[in-house]
Amino acid sequence: MKFPDRLPIPPEVLKIAQQLEKAGYETWCVGGAIRDNLLGLENHDFDLTTAAPPEELLRLFKRTVPVGIEHGTVAVLDAHNRPHEVTTFRRDIKTDGRHAVVEFGVSLMDDLARRDFTINAIAYHPGRHEWRDPFKGVDDLERRLIRSVGDPNWRFQEDYLRILRALRFSARFEFRIHGHTLDAAKANVQGLAQLSAERVREEWFKGIATAKRVSKLLALWLDVGAARIWLPEIREKGDGRREKGALDKLSRDPVLITAYLATDPASLLTRLKCSNKEIERGRAIGAWRDKYPDPKSLPEVRRWLSQVGEHVDDLLALPPVRTAPFSLLPKVVSSILAAKDPLTLQDLAVDGNDLIAAGVRAGPDVGDVLQRLLAEVLEDPKRNTKGYLLSRV
Protein backbone atom coordinates (compact mmCIF):
# COMPACT_ATOMS: atom_id res chain seq x y z
CA MET A 1 0.00 0.00 0.00
CA LYS A 2 1.35 3.41 -1.00
CA PHE A 3 0.64 6.70 0.66
CA PRO A 4 -1.57 8.97 -1.48
CA ASP A 5 -0.15 12.32 -2.53
CA ARG A 6 -2.86 14.16 -0.60
CA LEU A 7 -5.67 13.50 1.86
CA PRO A 8 -9.06 15.27 1.72
CA ILE A 9 -8.56 17.44 4.80
CA PRO A 10 -11.72 19.47 5.63
CA PRO A 11 -11.18 23.23 5.18
CA GLU A 12 -12.00 23.89 8.84
CA VAL A 13 -9.29 21.48 10.01
CA LEU A 14 -6.80 22.86 7.50
CA LYS A 15 -7.49 26.41 8.73
CA ILE A 16 -6.71 25.40 12.35
CA ALA A 17 -3.49 23.67 11.26
CA GLN A 18 -2.40 26.67 9.22
CA GLN A 19 -2.99 29.04 12.13
CA LEU A 20 -0.85 26.86 14.40
CA GLU A 21 1.92 26.56 11.82
CA LYS A 22 1.85 30.34 11.26
CA ALA A 23 2.36 30.79 15.01
CA GLY A 24 5.44 28.58 14.75
CA TYR A 25 4.00 25.29 16.03
CA GLU A 26 4.50 22.08 14.05
CA THR A 27 1.08 20.48 13.46
CA TRP A 28 0.09 17.09 11.99
CA CYS A 29 -3.13 15.18 11.30
CA VAL A 30 -3.38 11.91 13.24
CA GLY A 31 -5.88 9.37 14.46
CA GLY A 32 -8.66 7.25 13.06
CA ALA A 33 -9.38 9.49 10.07
CA ILE A 34 -5.88 8.86 8.73
CA ARG A 35 -6.32 5.11 9.11
CA ASP A 36 -9.82 5.08 7.61
CA ASN A 37 -8.90 7.20 4.59
CA LEU A 38 -5.98 4.90 3.84
CA LEU A 39 -8.46 2.01 3.95
CA GLY A 40 -10.78 3.83 1.56
CA LEU A 41 -13.38 4.47 4.26
CA GLU A 42 -15.09 7.83 4.53
CA ASN A 43 -14.03 9.72 7.66
CA HIS A 44 -13.66 13.50 7.81
CA ASP A 45 -13.17 13.72 11.57
CA PHE A 46 -9.46 14.55 11.45
CA ASP A 47 -7.70 15.15 14.78
CA LEU A 48 -4.60 17.32 15.04
CA THR A 49 -1.49 16.95 17.16
CA THR A 50 0.78 19.93 17.64
CA ALA A 51 3.87 21.27 19.37
CA ALA A 52 1.76 24.11 20.82
CA PRO A 53 1.24 23.69 24.60
CA PRO A 54 -2.35 23.68 25.88
CA GLU A 55 -2.23 27.27 27.13
CA GLU A 56 -1.16 28.41 23.66
CA LEU A 57 -4.11 26.62 22.11
CA LEU A 58 -6.45 28.53 24.41
CA ARG A 59 -4.69 31.79 23.52
CA LEU A 60 -4.57 31.28 19.75
CA PHE A 61 -8.22 30.29 19.33
CA LYS A 62 -11.09 32.32 20.71
CA ARG A 63 -13.68 29.54 20.76
CA THR A 64 -12.42 26.43 22.53
CA VAL A 65 -13.62 23.72 24.89
CA PRO A 66 -10.99 22.21 27.26
CA VAL A 67 -12.29 18.65 26.79
CA GLY A 68 -9.14 17.03 28.23
CA ILE A 69 -6.77 19.84 28.89
CA GLU A 70 -4.91 17.94 31.63
CA HIS A 71 -3.86 15.56 28.84
CA GLY A 72 -3.28 18.39 26.37
CA THR A 73 -6.53 18.09 24.40
CA VAL A 74 -8.57 21.15 23.42
CA ALA A 75 -11.58 21.20 21.10
CA VAL A 76 -11.45 24.16 18.73
CA LEU A 77 -14.88 25.23 17.46
CA ASP A 78 -15.21 26.23 13.82
CA ALA A 79 -17.68 28.75 12.36
CA HIS A 80 -20.41 26.10 12.42
CA ASN A 81 -19.77 25.25 16.09
CA ARG A 82 -18.31 21.88 15.16
CA PRO A 83 -15.49 20.80 17.50
CA HIS A 84 -12.09 19.70 16.19
CA GLU A 85 -9.73 18.08 18.70
CA VAL A 86 -6.20 19.43 18.91
CA THR A 87 -3.74 17.72 21.26
CA THR A 88 -0.26 18.78 22.31
CA PHE A 89 2.61 16.37 21.53
CA ARG A 90 2.91 14.24 24.66
CA ARG A 91 4.31 11.10 26.18
CA ASP A 92 3.23 9.09 29.21
CA ILE A 93 5.57 9.33 32.17
CA LYS A 94 3.42 7.44 34.67
CA THR A 95 0.45 5.09 34.28
CA ASP A 96 -1.62 2.83 36.50
CA GLY A 97 -3.49 0.85 33.86
CA ARG A 98 -6.38 3.33 33.88
CA HIS A 99 -4.94 6.84 33.93
CA ALA A 100 -1.75 8.41 32.67
CA VAL A 101 0.36 11.36 33.73
CA VAL A 102 1.67 13.00 30.56
CA GLU A 103 4.60 15.23 29.69
CA PHE A 104 4.44 17.93 27.02
CA GLY A 105 7.28 19.52 25.08
CA VAL A 106 8.18 16.34 23.22
CA SER A 107 8.43 15.51 19.51
CA LEU A 108 5.98 14.07 17.03
CA MET A 109 7.93 10.79 17.17
CA ASP A 110 7.49 10.64 20.94
CA ASP A 111 3.79 11.27 20.48
CA LEU A 112 3.37 8.52 17.91
CA ALA A 113 5.38 6.12 20.06
CA ARG A 114 2.82 6.33 22.88
CA ARG A 115 -0.10 5.29 20.67
CA ASP A 116 -1.79 1.92 20.94
CA PHE A 117 -1.51 0.21 17.55
CA THR A 118 0.64 0.76 14.49
CA ILE A 119 -2.38 1.47 12.27
CA ASN A 120 -3.23 4.38 14.60
CA ALA A 121 0.33 5.76 14.71
CA ILE A 122 0.47 7.34 11.26
CA ALA A 123 0.74 11.11 10.80
CA TYR A 124 0.09 13.36 7.80
CA HIS A 125 1.18 16.98 7.42
CA PRO A 126 -1.74 18.87 5.86
CA GLY A 127 0.44 21.69 4.54
CA ARG A 128 3.52 19.89 3.22
CA HIS A 129 1.65 16.63 2.40
CA GLU A 130 4.31 14.60 4.16
CA TRP A 131 3.84 11.30 5.96
CA ARG A 132 5.34 9.88 9.15
CA ASP A 133 4.95 6.16 9.77
CA PRO A 134 7.75 5.10 12.13
CA PHE A 135 6.08 1.80 13.12
CA LYS A 136 5.10 0.63 9.63
CA GLY A 137 1.38 1.02 10.22
CA VAL A 138 0.68 1.22 6.50
CA ASP A 139 2.25 -2.22 6.05
CA ASP A 140 -0.04 -3.58 8.75
CA LEU A 141 -3.05 -2.01 7.03
CA GLU A 142 -2.07 -3.87 3.88
CA ARG A 143 -1.54 -7.09 5.83
CA ARG A 144 -4.85 -6.52 7.67
CA LEU A 145 -3.11 -6.77 11.02
CA ILE A 146 -3.65 -5.30 14.49
CA ARG A 147 -0.20 -4.92 16.09
CA SER A 148 0.86 -2.99 19.19
CA VAL A 149 3.31 -0.12 18.99
CA GLY A 150 6.41 -1.47 20.74
CA ASP A 151 6.12 -4.04 23.52
CA PRO A 152 2.45 -5.16 23.65
CA ASN A 153 2.64 -6.06 27.35
CA TRP A 154 3.76 -2.57 28.22
CA ARG A 155 1.18 -1.02 25.88
CA PHE A 156 -1.66 -2.88 27.58
CA GLN A 157 -0.35 -2.27 31.08
CA GLU A 158 -0.33 1.46 30.34
CA ASP A 159 -4.07 1.30 29.70
CA TYR A 160 -5.92 -2.02 29.86
CA LEU A 161 -8.74 -0.59 27.76
CA ARG A 162 -6.42 -1.06 24.78
CA ILE A 163 -7.16 -4.78 24.98
CA LEU A 164 -10.81 -4.08 24.22
CA ARG A 165 -9.84 -1.60 21.51
CA ALA A 166 -7.79 -4.32 19.81
CA LEU A 167 -10.84 -6.58 19.80
CA ARG A 168 -13.06 -3.80 18.46
CA PHE A 169 -10.69 -2.91 15.62
CA SER A 170 -10.24 -6.57 14.73
CA ALA A 171 -14.01 -7.10 14.49
CA ARG A 172 -14.62 -3.81 12.68
CA PHE A 173 -12.02 -4.27 9.94
CA GLU A 174 -11.87 -8.07 10.06
CA PHE A 175 -8.14 -7.79 10.74
CA ARG A 176 -6.09 -10.50 12.41
CA ILE A 177 -4.51 -9.63 15.77
CA HIS A 178 -0.72 -10.15 15.67
CA GLY A 179 0.37 -13.21 17.64
CA HIS A 180 2.46 -11.35 20.23
CA THR A 181 -0.26 -8.72 20.65
CA LEU A 182 -2.94 -11.38 21.13
CA ASP A 183 -0.80 -13.30 23.62
CA ALA A 184 -0.17 -10.11 25.58
CA ALA A 185 -3.90 -9.32 25.60
CA LYS A 186 -4.66 -12.73 27.10
CA ALA A 187 -1.81 -12.44 29.62
CA ASN A 188 -3.00 -9.03 30.82
CA VAL A 189 -6.74 -9.58 30.61
CA GLN A 190 -7.19 -9.57 34.38
CA GLY A 191 -6.24 -5.90 34.30
CA LEU A 192 -9.62 -5.19 32.71
CA ALA A 193 -11.13 -5.55 36.18
CA GLN A 194 -9.47 -2.24 37.09
CA LEU A 195 -11.39 -0.31 34.45
CA SER A 196 -14.52 1.67 35.11
CA ALA A 197 -17.80 0.15 33.96
CA GLU A 198 -18.50 3.21 31.85
CA ARG A 199 -15.32 2.77 29.76
CA VAL A 200 -15.97 -0.94 29.28
CA ARG A 201 -19.61 -0.31 28.32
CA GLU A 202 -18.54 2.27 25.75
CA GLU A 203 -16.10 -0.17 24.13
CA TRP A 204 -18.60 -3.06 24.13
CA PHE A 205 -21.42 -0.92 22.73
CA LYS A 206 -19.14 0.76 20.18
CA GLY A 207 -17.86 -2.66 19.16
CA ILE A 208 -21.40 -3.89 18.53
CA ALA A 209 -22.17 -0.80 16.46
CA THR A 210 -19.07 -1.05 14.24
CA ALA A 211 -18.28 -4.77 13.91
CA LYS A 212 -18.80 -6.29 10.50
CA ARG A 213 -20.07 -9.36 12.34
CA VAL A 214 -21.14 -9.18 15.96
CA SER A 215 -20.47 -12.91 16.27
CA LYS A 216 -16.79 -12.18 15.53
CA LEU A 217 -16.65 -9.50 18.25
CA LEU A 218 -18.26 -11.88 20.75
CA ALA A 219 -15.86 -14.68 19.81
CA LEU A 220 -12.89 -12.37 20.47
CA TRP A 221 -14.22 -11.27 23.87
CA LEU A 222 -14.73 -14.91 24.82
CA ASP A 223 -11.37 -16.09 23.46
CA VAL A 224 -9.29 -13.38 25.15
CA GLY A 225 -11.17 -13.74 28.45
CA ALA A 226 -12.71 -10.26 28.55
CA ALA A 227 -16.23 -11.72 28.64
CA ARG A 228 -15.37 -13.79 31.71
CA ILE A 229 -14.54 -10.60 33.61
CA TRP A 230 -17.19 -8.16 32.39
CA LEU A 231 -19.84 -10.27 30.64
CA PRO A 232 -20.01 -13.48 32.71
CA GLU A 233 -23.68 -13.96 31.81
CA ILE A 234 -22.49 -14.70 28.27
CA ARG A 235 -20.82 -18.03 28.88
CA GLU A 236 -20.66 -19.88 25.59
CA LYS A 237 -20.04 -19.16 21.95
CA GLY A 238 -23.37 -20.38 20.77
CA ASP A 239 -26.26 -22.56 21.72
CA GLY A 240 -29.53 -22.48 19.77
CA ARG A 241 -30.26 -18.88 20.75
CA ARG A 242 -26.82 -17.61 19.94
CA GLU A 243 -26.38 -19.08 16.51
CA LYS A 244 -23.93 -16.89 14.62
CA GLY A 245 -26.15 -16.19 11.64
CA ALA A 246 -29.06 -15.13 13.82
CA LEU A 247 -26.85 -12.88 15.92
CA ASP A 248 -25.37 -11.12 12.89
CA LYS A 249 -28.83 -10.35 11.50
CA LEU A 250 -29.92 -8.43 14.58
CA SER A 251 -30.11 -4.65 14.40
CA ARG A 252 -27.04 -2.98 15.91
CA ASP A 253 -28.88 -1.99 19.06
CA PRO A 254 -26.32 -2.67 21.82
CA VAL A 255 -28.90 -3.12 24.59
CA LEU A 256 -30.98 -5.49 22.46
CA ILE A 257 -27.95 -7.59 21.47
CA THR A 258 -26.55 -7.66 25.02
CA ALA A 259 -29.92 -8.72 26.41
CA TYR A 260 -30.32 -11.38 23.72
CA LEU A 261 -26.93 -12.91 24.55
CA ALA A 262 -27.10 -12.79 28.36
CA THR A 263 -28.66 -15.38 30.64
CA ASP A 264 -29.53 -12.54 33.04
CA PRO A 265 -29.71 -9.33 30.99
CA ALA A 266 -30.66 -7.04 33.88
CA SER A 267 -27.67 -8.17 35.93
CA LEU A 268 -25.26 -7.63 33.04
CA LEU A 269 -26.64 -4.21 32.11
CA THR A 270 -26.53 -3.18 35.77
CA ARG A 271 -22.84 -4.15 35.99
CA LEU A 272 -22.15 -2.00 32.93
CA LYS A 273 -23.91 0.90 34.68
CA CYS A 274 -26.52 1.34 32.00
CA SER A 275 -29.49 3.62 32.57
CA ASN A 276 -32.53 2.38 34.48
CA LYS A 277 -34.51 2.43 31.23
CA GLU A 278 -31.93 0.24 29.49
CA ILE A 279 -31.85 -2.18 32.41
CA GLU A 280 -35.64 -2.50 32.35
CA ARG A 281 -35.52 -3.11 28.60
CA GLY A 282 -33.05 -5.92 29.22
CA ARG A 283 -35.15 -7.34 32.04
CA ALA A 284 -38.24 -7.47 29.80
CA ILE A 285 -36.32 -9.07 26.93
CA GLY A 286 -34.96 -11.71 29.30
CA ALA A 287 -38.42 -12.41 30.71
CA TRP A 288 -40.26 -12.71 27.39
CA ARG A 289 -37.74 -13.83 24.74
CA ASP A 290 -38.84 -17.49 25.06
CA LYS A 291 -42.57 -16.79 25.48
CA TYR A 292 -44.13 -16.00 22.13
CA PRO A 293 -47.86 -16.46 21.41
CA ASP A 294 -49.37 -18.60 18.69
CA PRO A 295 -49.87 -16.14 15.80
CA LYS A 296 -52.99 -18.06 14.73
CA SER A 297 -54.75 -17.19 18.01
CA LEU A 298 -55.73 -13.52 18.04
CA PRO A 299 -56.83 -13.58 21.71
CA GLU A 300 -53.47 -15.10 22.67
CA VAL A 301 -51.58 -12.44 20.71
CA ARG A 302 -53.67 -9.67 22.28
CA ARG A 303 -52.97 -11.03 25.77
CA TRP A 304 -49.26 -11.16 24.95
CA LEU A 305 -49.30 -7.57 23.68
CA SER A 306 -51.09 -6.46 26.82
CA GLN A 307 -48.36 -7.99 28.97
CA VAL A 308 -45.22 -7.00 27.03
CA GLY A 309 -46.41 -3.43 26.42
CA GLU A 310 -43.71 -1.08 25.12
CA HIS A 311 -41.22 -3.91 24.67
CA VAL A 312 -43.06 -5.49 21.75
CA ASP A 313 -40.69 -4.08 19.10
CA ASP A 314 -37.65 -5.51 20.91
CA LEU A 315 -39.24 -8.94 21.11
CA LEU A 316 -40.31 -8.90 17.46
CA ALA A 317 -36.70 -8.11 16.49
CA LEU A 318 -35.29 -11.29 18.06
CA PRO A 319 -34.35 -14.38 15.99
CA PRO A 320 -37.24 -16.68 17.07
CA VAL A 321 -39.64 -14.43 15.14
CA ARG A 322 -37.81 -15.28 11.90
CA THR A 323 -38.74 -18.96 12.15
CA ALA A 324 -42.04 -20.81 11.90
CA PRO A 325 -44.53 -20.64 13.46
CA PHE A 326 -43.65 -17.22 14.89
CA SER A 327 -42.69 -15.65 11.56
CA LEU A 328 -46.36 -14.68 11.11
CA LEU A 329 -46.38 -12.78 14.39
CA PRO A 330 -45.24 -9.31 13.14
CA LYS A 331 -48.05 -9.22 10.57
CA VAL A 332 -50.63 -10.26 13.14
CA VAL A 333 -49.38 -7.69 15.64
CA SER A 334 -49.55 -4.96 12.98
CA SER A 335 -53.17 -5.82 12.19
CA ILE A 336 -54.14 -5.73 15.87
CA LEU A 337 -52.43 -2.38 16.43
CA ALA A 338 -53.93 -0.95 13.23
CA ALA A 339 -57.40 -1.99 14.41
CA LYS A 340 -56.68 -0.21 17.72
CA ASP A 341 -57.90 -3.20 19.70
CA PRO A 342 -58.05 -2.44 23.45
CA LEU A 343 -54.97 -3.85 25.18
CA THR A 344 -54.69 -2.02 28.51
CA LEU A 345 -56.91 -0.96 31.39
CA GLN A 346 -56.85 2.57 30.04
CA ASP A 347 -58.41 1.30 26.80
CA LEU A 348 -61.50 -0.06 28.58
CA ALA A 349 -64.83 1.68 28.01
CA VAL A 350 -65.28 1.91 31.80
CA ASP A 351 -63.08 3.10 34.64
CA GLY A 352 -62.94 2.76 38.40
CA ASN A 353 -65.55 5.46 39.00
CA ASP A 354 -68.00 3.63 36.74
CA LEU A 355 -67.48 0.44 38.72
CA ILE A 356 -67.97 2.14 42.07
CA ALA A 357 -71.16 3.75 40.77
CA ALA A 358 -72.29 0.30 39.70
CA GLY A 359 -71.81 -1.03 43.24
CA VAL A 360 -68.25 -2.35 43.32
CA ARG A 361 -66.63 -1.65 46.69
CA ALA A 362 -63.88 0.95 46.51
CA GLY A 363 -60.37 -0.44 47.01
CA PRO A 364 -58.67 -3.57 45.65
CA ASP A 365 -61.95 -4.95 44.35
CA VAL A 366 -62.05 -2.25 41.68
CA GLY A 367 -58.66 -3.31 40.31
CA ASP A 368 -59.64 -6.98 40.35
CA VAL A 369 -62.84 -6.34 38.41
CA LEU A 370 -61.07 -4.16 35.86
CA GLN A 371 -58.55 -6.94 35.25
CA ARG A 372 -61.36 -9.44 34.70
CA LEU A 373 -63.08 -7.10 32.27
CA LEU A 374 -59.82 -6.57 30.39
CA ALA A 375 -59.44 -10.34 30.06
CA GLU A 376 -62.89 -10.52 28.42
CA VAL A 377 -62.10 -7.66 26.06
CA LEU A 378 -58.76 -9.20 25.05
CA GLU A 379 -60.72 -12.31 24.12
CA ASP A 380 -63.15 -10.28 21.98
CA PRO A 381 -62.61 -6.52 21.42
CA LYS A 382 -66.28 -6.11 20.43
CA ARG A 383 -67.12 -6.51 24.11
CA ASN A 384 -65.48 -3.19 24.91
CA THR A 385 -68.68 -1.17 25.33
CA LYS A 386 -69.85 0.51 28.50
CA GLY A 387 -73.17 -1.30 28.41
CA TYR A 388 -71.65 -4.76 28.06
CA LEU A 389 -68.94 -4.25 30.65
CA LEU A 390 -71.33 -2.83 33.27
CA SER A 391 -73.69 -5.74 32.60
CA ARG A 392 -70.79 -8.06 33.45
CA VAL A 393 -70.20 -6.15 36.68
Same domain for 50 and 7, yes or no, is yes
Model pLDDT, residue 238:
47
pTM exceeding the 0.85 threshold for the entire prediction: yes
Q: Which residues contact 208 (CB under 8 A, 6 or more apart)?
A: 214, 217, 252, 254, 257, 258
The rounded mean pLDDT for the chain is: 93
Same domain for 24 and 107, yes or no, is yes
Same domain for 348 and 218, yes or no, is no
Return the closest-CA partner of residue 37 out of 62, 7, 59, 81: 7
- pLDDT one-digit tens code per residue, 137-147: 999 999 999 99
CA atoms of 262 and 275, how far apart (whole Å): 17
The answer to whether residue 176 scores a pLDDT higher than 90 is yes
Same domain for 265 and 300, yes or no, is no
CA atoms of 262 and 266, how far apart (whole Å): 9
| Last residue in a domain, options 126, 143, 160 | 143
Say which CATH number the domain at 202 has.
1.10.3090.10
- pLDDT one-digit tens code per residue, 257-286: 999 999 999 999 999 999 999 999 999 999
| Last residue in a domain, options 233, 267, 283 | 283
In angstroms, what CA-CA distances link 124 with 39, 121, 133, 148, 372? 15, 10, 9, 20, 71
Give the amino acid at 243.
E
Same domain for 330 and 367, yes or no, is no
Same domain for 139 and 151, yes or no, is no
- pLDDT one-digit tens code per residue, 338-392: 999 999 999 999 999 999 999 999 999 999 999 999 999 999 999 999 999 999 9
By the 8 A CB rule, do 98 and 28 touch? no
- Of the pLDDT bands very low, low, confident and very high (cuts 50, 70, 90), residue 44 is confident
Same domain for 129 and 41, yes or no, is yes
Say which CATH number the domain at 47 has.
3.30.460.10
- pLDDT one-digit tens code per residue, 192-204: 999 999 999 999 9
Model pLDDT, residue 200:
98
- pLDDT one-digit tens code per residue, 223-262: 999 999 999 999 664 444 446 788 999 999 999 999 999 9
- pLDDT one-digit tens code per residue, 70-103: 888 999 999 899 999 999 998 876 676 566 666 7
Same domain for 1 and 126, yes or no, is yes
Same domain for 56 and 191, yes or no, is no
β-strands 47-50, 83-88 pairing: parallel
Model pLDDT, residue 104:
78
| Last residue in a domain, options 143, 174, 190 | 143
Task: Name the phi and psi angles at 30, rounded to 5.
Answer: -140, 180
Same domain for 251 and 203, yes or no, is yes
Which range is least confidently modeled, 26-35, 180-189, 242-251? 242-251
Same domain for 246 and 358, yes or no, is no
Task: Name the phi and psi angles at 80, rounded to 5.
Answer: -100, 15
| Half-sphere CA count of 174, side-chain side, radius 13 A | 4
Please report, to the nearest 10 degrees, the dihedral formed by the alpha carbons of residues 153, 113, 134, 27 taken in order: 160
Same domain for 237 and 309, yes or no, is no
Model pLDDT, residue 94:
63
Q: From the CB of residue 268, how many other CB atoms can be counted at a distance below 10 Å?
A: 23
| Count of the separate structural domains present in the chain | 4
Model pLDDT, residue 98:
64
Task: Name the phi and psi angles at 49, rounded to 5.
Answer: -125, 140
Model pLDDT, residue 101:
65
Q: Tell me which residue range forms the domain holding 239.
A: 144-283
